[in-house]
Structure 1
Amino acid sequence: MSEIINTLVYTGIGLGVFIVALIIMEIGTKFSITKKIAHEGNIALAIVIASIIVSLGMIISSAIR
């Protein structure tokens, strides 16, 4: 039971850090990332953001271990 609780706690911490990082990234740009991708269909920006998301996930995963 302790392992399940630990997993849930680390999942919550990881998701929290991930969401904060995405919010900081959205605030740090001069334009709205969501608007550029969803409304204007900027595929290049979507690929860059996807690579940032993957690398953030790898960093957070390594930090938690």
Structure 2
Amino acid sequence: MGVLSVVVSLDNLLASLVYSLVGLAVFVAGLFVFRLIMPFDVHKEIEVDQNTALGLVMGSFILGLAIIVAAAISG
């Protein structure tokens, strides 16, 4: 019984690792698309110009994307 539980645990660990990597890839791709569709430099607007509104929009986008990725992973 001990060997079986280790094999099942390794399968679960591998599945978790794959889902994590896929989720991170989707998240990074989403952020890349966000920066691509903006007609200005997001980094400059948030950090240099202190654009709070853009920071809120980007934070909302990140939160929404994270919820979508989490829902897709959980089934």
Structure 1 residue 5 and structure 2 residue 14: aligned? yes
In the alignment, which of 15, 23, 33 is matched to residue 42 of structure 2? 33
Count residues with an aligned counterpart.
65
TM-score by length of 2: 0.81
Amino acid at match of 1:49: M
**What is the CA–CA distance in structure 1 between the aligned matches of 2:55 and 2:38, rounded to whole Å?**
14
Q: With the length of structure 1 as denominator, give the TM-score of the two structures.
A: 0.92
Gaps of 5+ in 2: 1-9
Question: Where has structure 1 moved over 4 Å in runs of 4 or more?
Answer: none
Alignment of 1:12-27 (within 5 A): 12-27=21-36
1:52 aligns with 2:70: no
CA RMSD of aligned residues (A): 0.8
Q: Give unmatched runs, 5+ long, in structure 1.
A: none
- Pairwise CA distance, 1:40: 1.0
